[in-house]
Amino acid sequence: MSHPRILVARSVFPEVIARLEQHFDVTSNQPDETWSKAQLIEKLQGKDGAFTTGGERIDAEVLAACPTLKICANMAVGYNNFDIDAMTAAGVLATNTPDVLTETTADFGFALLMATARRITESEHFLRAGKWGKWSFDMFAGSDIHGSTLGILGMGRIGQGIARRGAHGFGMKVIYHNRSRLDAAQEAGCKASYVSKEELLRSADHLVLVLPYSPASHHSIGAAELALMKPTATLINIARGGIVDDAALALALREKRIAAAGLDVFEGEPRVHPDLLTLSNVVLTPHIASASVPTRLAMANLAADNLIAYFRDKKPLTPLNPAALASR
């Protein structure tokens, strides 16, 4: 019997390609070419499954043009690149990679918070530029992390990981806002108190964004929300580009209406709003929050496991739209 045909849309660990090759007829993209939508559709012709990353958009147009496709396994926990309703209607299963990246991403959220509040990259640039002539009392004086109020918008697995680090590691007071309130045991586990979005914005010394992107969360932080924040506050975005209005944020940072921001995700990335690039009170990283070697390997293996399990017995590990299974 011939193997199912799989497209791996981006370059991944060679050992994961080798695993997939034990089960599938694999077309890979190890040179990591950037494909247009038309090229993606062409590559998907005759394929039964796809290994995707957050960069490949799977929508009604792609699905209509690729009728043999049965599953798309995303190597990401976020799946705003998938039109889930269209995939379900087409009977195409979607899977993602939750859990395996939670702690690594929470670690990074905290690293970005610390780098931003304590002005680490800004001071390194100063040193490397040969500008360090003498000590001064206020040189790169930032804001404290210990004992401050940590605000979290979006309290899923990663948000709770950041809350635990803040509460237990740094003695922070943790407040959060989320679509739904955590149960009492979860709140106790990360010593977090539920507040309204307005109170979160007004009270946080450091506000971390960890909510999923959808049209409903587009520009959750814009000019009006930034205006409620403390002038001494820092804002950290490790969620998705589009959650923050980057132009409004650049203006608020320029006018020192908030103190600083740490951004790992951007509207229209890999492009970055040009105004952000000119500011010193912002730390910018290229969407690397889950990028530890063990975690990226675990993500790739979970995406591969989903493909293997689907074609073995229709029992994927982390399905997003199990209803799609019923129609195949």
Q: Which of 23, 218, 254, 287 is catalytic?
A: 287
Q: Specify whether 269 is catalytic.
A: yes
Q: Which of 19, 118, 240, 296 is catalytic?
A: 240
Tokens representing residue 64 in the block: 């209509």
Bridge partners (DSSP) listed for residue 57: none
Query: What DSSP state is assigned to residue 154?
Result: -
Q: Which stretch binds ligand 8YV (CB under 6 A): 30-38, 71-79, 255-263, 308-316?
A: 71-79
Q: Residue type for 221, please?
A: I
SS3 311: helix
Q: Which of 101, 106, 200, 258 binds ligand 8YV (CB under 6 A)?
A: 101
Q: What's the burial of 325, exposed, middle or buried (CB within 10 Å: 0-12/13-18/19+)?
A: middle
Nearest approach in angstroms of CB 1 to ligand 8YV is: 32
- CA dist 200 and 181 (Å) reads 14
Q: Does 78 bind ligand 8YV (CB under 6 A)?
A: yes
**Locus of tokens 């237990």:** 168
Residue with smaller CB distance to ligand 8YV, 119 or 266: 266
Q: Specify whether 21 is catalytic.
A: no
Nearest approach in angstroms of CB 74 to ligand 8YV is: 7
Q: Which stretch binds ligand 8YV (CB under 6 A): 74-82, 155-163, 183-191, 227-235?
A: 74-82
Q: Which of 17, 50, 75, 115 binds ligand 8YV (CB under 6 A)?
A: 75
Q: Does 77 bind ligand 8YV (CB under 6 A)?
A: yes
Q: Does 290 bind ligand 8YV (CB under 6 A)?
A: yes
Q: What's the burial of 249, exposed, middle or buried (CB within 10 Å: 0-12/13-18/19+)?
A: buried
Closest C-alpha among 186, 255, 241, 187 to residue 211:
241
Question: Mind telling me the catalytic residues?
Answer: 240, 269, 287
Q: Which residues bind ligand 8YV (CB under 6 A)?
A: 53-54, 75-78, 101, 290
